[in-house]
Amino acid sequence: MNYYIKRFGQAGITLILVITISFVMYRMMPGGPVQSLMQERLTQCLEAQGSLAQCDIDAIRQSVKLQVNIDPNKPLPVAYVDYMARIVLHQDFGVSTKYQEGVFSILFKAMPWSIFISLYGLALGWTFNVFWGAMLAYKEGELFDKAGTIFAMIGNSIPYYVAAIIALSVLAYQYGLFPQGGRYQESLKLFYLGWDFGPLQIGWLVNEPEVKPGTNIPFMLSAGWSAALPILTGFLLGINGLGMRGNAVRIMESDYIRVARLRGLSQSRIASRYLGRNAILPLYTGFMIGIAGIFGSSIITERIFSYPAVGWYTFSALVTRDYPLLMGAFIFYTSVTLVGILVAEFTYGLIDPRAGGGDSEAY
């Protein structure tokens, strides 16, 4: 129990430090978010009224303070305690200056879509790594191993955003096999398989002129179809079978593998029970921590595919200087990293019987 309390305590302290850093960044920004927004609002008022005398400057200043969640006129300790209380106790990150909506509400509604494309892509890439790396290790030194290693090195050298642009250009714009953007399509027409037998034509056609969000098959098909290319990018980002190959080659030289072969155990049993389970241990920790990395890469991926999720809103906040939304996304990505590390810590003993829940270290 002390182990879990210690880990949760460390995660909590880390999160508080990150929120503190976001507060300091607020204060250190050139001109500060309040001054920047004040200038923007006064410019809008000047264009609308024709004169600053017609603008209620005090009301504008108060509105800006509520949006950015920080009052620059308060003493620093008081402002810090107020900022921490708003975020920790009330999940109040302020109001987005661009979307005029609560930051927490924006991120909360966008989060499932980011989780959907990020975790699916990462899980598929990790599963592929395990099987592909094991096959390369079994064929060590053979043509298959050499060709697979070269292919992996070439694949790892291609930036994920380049692969995303190529996939979007070819598969979406050139051939129209996938949507060009969006989380789902308002109409759905796909999966047509037909065979012409003279007068008889057999096929399956999904043709839904109007897709309504909800727990219905057309919407789920449309959401999956729209997410296919972002998931493919996440899959390519997660591929790195060389790590699994290196672990498997090292373990294949272990004494217990030789004993298993001398006992006459089948190759499939050795591969699954003796080799695979031990070789994936370092990769498992990397998989859980990699969740944060793939969420970070989603900032570019979601923008390329016009997929409105957390990464898309983060990029928009960077471009429009939406400070509350940017700081909220910063805290969100940190929280995802901490959750991934905690899950890796607490579940490591499930795949490695040698590690107990109270004394295991996942890294």
Block residue for tokens 């030194």: 141
Q: Which of 342, 332, 320, 316 is nearest to 105 (CA)?
A: 332
CB atoms closer than 10 angstroms to residue 293: 17
CATH class of 103-186+226-351: mainly alpha
Block residue for tokens 């292919």: 151
Q: What is the 3-state secondary structure (H, E, C) of the chain?
A: CHHHHHHHHHHHHHHHHHHHHHHHHHHHCCCHHHHHHHHHHHHHHHHHHCCHHHCCHHHHHHHHHHHHCCCCCCCHHHHHHHHHHHHHHHCCCCECCCCCCEHHHHHHHHHHHHHHHHHHHHHHHHHHHHHHHHHHHHCCCCHHHHHHHHHHHHHHHCCHHHHHHHHHHHHHHHCCCCCCCCCCCCCEEEEEEEEEECCEEEEEEEEECCCCCCCCHHHHHHHHHHHHHHHHHHHHHHCCHHHHHHHHHHHHCCHHHHHHHHCCCCHHHHHHHHHHHHHCHHHHHHHHHHHHHHHHHHHHHHHHCCCCCHHHHHHHHHHHCCHHHHHHHHHHHHHHHHHHHHHHHHHHHHHCCCCCCCCCCCC
Tokens linked to 67: 């949006």
Whole-angstrom Cα distance, residue 106 to residue 89?
18
Q: How is the chain split into domains, by residue range?
A: 2-90, 103-186+226-351
For residue 197, what are the β-bridge partners?
Answer: 200
Q: Which amino acid is at 303?
A: R
Q: Are 292 and 333 in contact (CB under 8 A)?
A: yes
Whole-angstrom Cα distance, residue 292 to residue 276?
25
* Residue 96 CB contacts under 8 Å (≥ 6 apart), including other chains: 67, 102, 103, 106, 317, 322, 324, 325
Whole-angstrom Cα distance, residue 344 to residue 16?
21
Q: Are 302 and 312 in contact (CB under 8 A)?
A: yes
Tokens linked to 147: 């060709």
Residuewise pLDDT in 10s, the chain (363 residues): 787 788 888 888 988 998 888 888 777 766 556 666 767 777 777 777 766 666 767 777 777 766 666 666 677 788 888 888 888 888 888 788 788 888 889 999 998 888 888 888 888 888 888 888 878 887 788 888 888 888 878 877 888 888 889 989 988 888 888 888 888 877 666 554 454 545 544 444 566 667 777 777 778 888 888 888 988 887 876 666 777 788 888 887 788 888 888 888 887 777 777 777 777 777 776 776 677 667 777 888 889 998 998 889 999 888 887 888 888 888 888 888 888 778 877 777 776 656 555 554 444
